[in-house]
Amino acid sequence: MLDELKSAARRMGSDYALRSLMTDCRRLLSERGEANSVVIARSLVARFDSLPAEQQATFFERLATEFSPDPKAVLDSALAYAEQPSADNLIRLTREAEPPRQELLRRINRTPGGTSSIVRMRRTLLERLPKQPALRALEADLLHLLSSWFNPGFLEMRKVDWNSPAQLLEKLIRHEAVHEIDGWDDLRRRLLPDRRCFAFFHPQLPDEPLIFVEVALVPEMPAAVAPLIDKTSSAAGPDTYKVATFYSISNCQPGLKGVSLGNFLIKRVAEELKREVPQLKTFCTLSPIPGFAGWLAKDGDWTALPGTKKAVAERALQARAVLKAACGGEWSRLASAAALQALPADAQQALERLCAFYLVHQTPHPGGDPVARFHLDNGARLERLNPMGNLSRPGLKQSFGLMVNYLYDLSRVEAHHEGFTQGEIATARAVTSLL
């Protein structure tokens, strides 16, 4: 009985806290609230952070329903603009169509620490979104605002090295998302003179990296990742630097998912390295293919993919049959270095053909590889497949050990990006010959 009373009391307290929070949201949007916005916003954020998860979910629901545009006002403004498309009518329509919650978020952003709070708030919202799809409009507002506030023009690119603050180096270890950093010795190797690390920072989060990229300066385009991240290897001399290879890019802020950061960072780093190390002639990646194994395990009519020639799709289907027979119909058997090494030549060729087909023909469509889409949309060229390029457990599980090089020809990235938006994949002969 006592436990039930305590539970009821907690619920009442949470309900009161939520009602009070919504009242302060309206106060903050009022003219009077604007004058006291810093005090109100700071209190609002602190109380949101202290709400239990279910009350945070209710708060999002109420933002989505109670702080949306007035449909009648939007309709009246739209009709007026349709009848007379004047500047005044367009301004009125734009004002009426903007959800009031956007201005609420702007006022929260003005308070010290407000930007960080909104990034945290969006992280929480993204976690709720699969269960609450009705919050998509609220999520779109947050993405719209954060994309403006984190425009690359506002960001600072910094080189990270062994002399950087220990707190920052710890964050690199914690946030590395592609190739795990195995402690301080591993990190130290990744920051020796033949390696580079660059990160984006925002003025409102000066000590928090938003995203960072790791680069290896090497004699030639690499075909495997193990030598690049071998913490026992020695640093090569500057006279060997001919190729800059981007081998890892990691987002540090889940609340900024979908905000374009990585594409600008790679290009900025390439330009910086070109100035710092003039003998560098080639800029490329050594990238994972995280969607390949899952895609291959699914049956599909590849001849129906738009823009895919029937003969190419049929050769890919034949390759799938060869590879399936080689692994006894159990795709998971291919997630083993020993099994890959034992594949007969025709099955190995089939694996490479299937991967090339996936990257070239599936990438522009749903189910395509997200890493491929990122680099190709960023203006890179699909350059080369590398069998046995990543024999780590994740590499074997996700792509049966395959990796790929994307080439960044700085004089061609804009043309390649434009082509990708039209459904064209910039592809080297070494890849197209596999199809």
Q: Which residues are catalytic?
A: 287, 375
Q: Sheet containing 211-218: which strands, arranged edge to edge? A: 156-159, 195-201, 211-218, 243-251, 282-285, 403-407, 381-386
Judge contact between 413 and 303, C-beta under 8 A: no
Q: Do residues 38 and 68 touch, judged by C-beta distance below 8 A?
A: no
Please report the beta strands in 186-230, taking only residues with DSSP state E, as ranges in sequence order: 195-201, 211-218
- The angle at the Cα of 118, spanning 115 to 120, to the nearest 5 degrees, equals 110
- Contact partners, residue 329, CB within 8 Å, separation at least 6: none
Give the residue from 34, 162, 166 showing the smallest Cα distance to 110.
34
- The pair of structure tokens assigned to 400 is 């049966």
For residue 425, give the DSSP letter. P
Q: Residue 231 burial (CB < 10 Å; 0-12/13-18/19+)?
A: middle
Closest CA to 267 of 410, 157, 398, 169: 410
Q: CA nearest 288: which of 127, 167, 404?
A: 404
What stretch of H or E contains 62? helix 53-66
Dump strand ranges (E) for 14-135: none
CA distance linking residue 245 with residue 221, whole number of Å: 7
Q: What residue type is 139 in one-letter code? A: E
Integer CA distances (angstroms), 271 to 53, 157, 264, in order: 44, 12, 11
Residue 403 DSSP class: E
What is the maximum alpha-carbon separation in the chain? 78
Residue 386 to residue 265: CA distance in whole angstroms:
25
> How many angstroms from the chain centroid is the CA of residue 174?
17
